[in-house]
Amino acid sequence: MAAALLDNRNPLLFRLRDNGVKQMTSTKIKEIVPDGVIVEGPEGECKLEADTVIAAFGMKPNGGLVEDICRKYPPTAVVGDCTKVAQVGEAVRGGFFAAWSIH
């Protein structure tokens, strides 16, 4: 959330506040169970009752395929989210410099 554009972030934070959404920071989901979610936070473990769970955990690069390609076709330039999940600007910049380095 800290990296989000202010134009997206601020209205979202206001809507969460205005709708009374409880925000639990420093809290980790341990398990999703049929009637809720088991979480562990600063005050220990507890169960949040829920009939629907929406998961938005973010993403991680899947390096396996990239490593296979790099091994098979050296030198391969690796750019964009498969190096580090980021934003369009980083992917476009990475692509530009990779293309520029081809002589």
Ligand X SMILES: Cc1cc2nc3c(=O)[nH]c(=O)nc-3n(C[C@H](O)[C@H](O)[C@H](O)COP(=O)(O)OP(=O)(O)OC[C@H]3O[C@@H](n4cnc5c(N)ncnc54)[C@H](O)[C@@H]3O)c2cc1C
Among the residue ranges 18-26, 28-36, 38-46, 84-92, the one whose residues contact ligand X (CB under 6 A): 84-92
Are the C-beta atoms of 23 and 39 separated by less than 8 Å? no
The only residue of 6, 88, 100, 103 in contact with ligand X, by rule CB under 6 A = 88
The only residue of 13, 37, 70, 91 in contact with ligand X, by rule CB under 6 A = 91
66 near ligand X, rule: CB under 6 A: no
Q: How far is the CB of 30 from ligand X (least distance, A)?
A: 25
The only residue of 13, 66, 81, 98 in contact with ligand X, by rule CB under 6 A = 81
How far CA 67 is from CA of 73, 88, 101, in Å, comes to 10, 22, 20
Are the C-beta atoms of 72 and 94 separated by less than 8 Å? no
Residues 6+ apart with CB under 8 A from 38: 29, 30, 31, 32, 45, 46, 47
Residues binding ligand X (CB under 6 A): 80-81, 86-89, 91
